[in-house]
Amino acid sequence: MQKFFILVPIVFLFACSADDIKDLQNYDYCITAENKCLMGPFNSNTCNGQLSNNCPYYVSSSSSFTSSSSSYIASSSSSNTNIETCMVGSYKCVKIGTQTWMAQDLVEKYSLETAQKACPNGWHLPNDNEWKMLVDYVGNLAGKKLKATDGWYGGGGTDDYDFAALPSDDDGKVNSWWGFRCGRSPQGYEVCSMRYVWKISYDNNNVSNTEYTNPSTLLSVRCVKD
């Protein structure tokens, strides 16, 4: 694992393959060969833009997503015997496997821009691979297992991991969280798209991810520990 010191807190990078972003042709941040973080938007052929002090914290790996819109089904099942609850300020948190997540959403909803700065120090907006790691650990029917036991239209989930996901709409049917996807462009740039959303709904036992094109929409934020 390498640490690059740029204009923002440390960004942790792991090796990634071209498949990581094979559907990521437009992106919002680019890291140059000189480890400078630039803000776009960019297309797949460029890495020229304004210096940014808001480059996202991310971990990219060889795990790939084959579609920009899909229902993600866990690849394995795991026991929940290792979960640990905790507190960070006034927020509950829970350790699930090797990750520590807030066990509740931040109070407000956020646009894409404000979501990137919403998590407190030591925490960050989770990327696709971090969401995927959570869903893999929870196993099959992850949406049902991560939902709170009440508060949902028609009932609730089992909340096996104290994640306590609640709906964010007035009808009690859905919650969508901002996320992002990072990797390497075909030209070799380290890049991030901030337009990816993870969703749990009342009528589906899975957790889905999709590309979201309206950055001004107000969505939920669930932070994960650095």
**Residue 1 lies inside a defined structural domain of this protein:** no
DSSP, collapsed to helix, strand or coil, labels residue 134 as: helix
**Torsions phi, psi of 146, nearest 5?**
-95, -15
Total domain count for the chain? 1
Residue 169 is predicted with a pLDDT of 94
DSSP 8-state class, residue 53? S
The DSSP result for 178-221, as a single string, is EEEEEEE-TTS-EEEEEEEEEEEETT-SSEEEEE---TTS-BB-
**Residue 54 lies inside a defined structural domain of this protein:** yes
9 prior amide bond cis, ω within 30: no
- Compute the average pLDDT of residues 80-108: 86
- Compute the average pLDDT of residues 27-49: 69
Q: Looking at per-residue confidence, does 133 or 87 come out higher? A: 133
DSSP 8-state class, residue 165? B
Residue 45 is predicted with a pLDDT of 62
Contact by Cβ (8 Å): 137, 192: no
Distances (CA, A) of 15 to 63, 205, 225: 10, 32, 21
DSSP 8-state class, residue 20? G
**Residue 123 lies inside a defined structural domain of this protein:** yes
Greatest pairwise CA separation for the chain in angstroms: 53
Contact by Cβ (8 Å): 124, 117: no
Report pLDDT digits (tens) over 169-212.
Answer: 999 999 999 988 777 766 677 777 777 899 999 999 999 988 87
- Compute the average pLDDT of residues 4-29: 40
**Residues contacting residue 135 through CB under 8 Å, at least 6 positions apart:** 72, 74, 142, 207
- How far apart, in whole angstroms, are the C-alpha atoms of residue 78 and residue 97? 9
Q: Report the share of the chain in percent with pLDDT over 70.
A: 65
* Neighbouring C-beta atoms of residue 215, cutoff 10 Å: 14
Residue 29's pLDDT band (cuts 50, 70, 90): confident
**Residue 100 lies inside a defined structural domain of this protein:** yes
Considering the entire predicted model, what is its pTM?
0.73
**Residue 153 lies inside a defined structural domain of this protein:** yes
pLDDT for 76 beyond 90? no
**Residue 23 lies inside a defined structural domain of this protein:** yes
* Neighbouring C-beta atoms of residue 33, cutoff 10 Å: 9
Residue 33's pLDDT band (cuts 50, 70, 90): low
pLDDT for 46 beyond 70? no
**Residue 124 lies inside a defined structural domain of this protein:** yes
The DSSP result for 153-166, as a single string, is TTB----TTS--B-
Q: Looking at per-residue confidence, does 18 or 121 come out higher? A: 121
pLDDT for 135 beyond 70? yes
| Domain with 115 in it | 7-225
- Compute the average pLDDT of residues 141-156: 95
Q: Report the share of the chain in percent with pLDDT over 90.
A: 41
Mean pLDDT of the chain: 75
- How far apart, in whole angstroms, are the C-alpha atoms of residue 117 and residue 17? 28
**Residue 2 lies inside a defined structural domain of this protein:** no
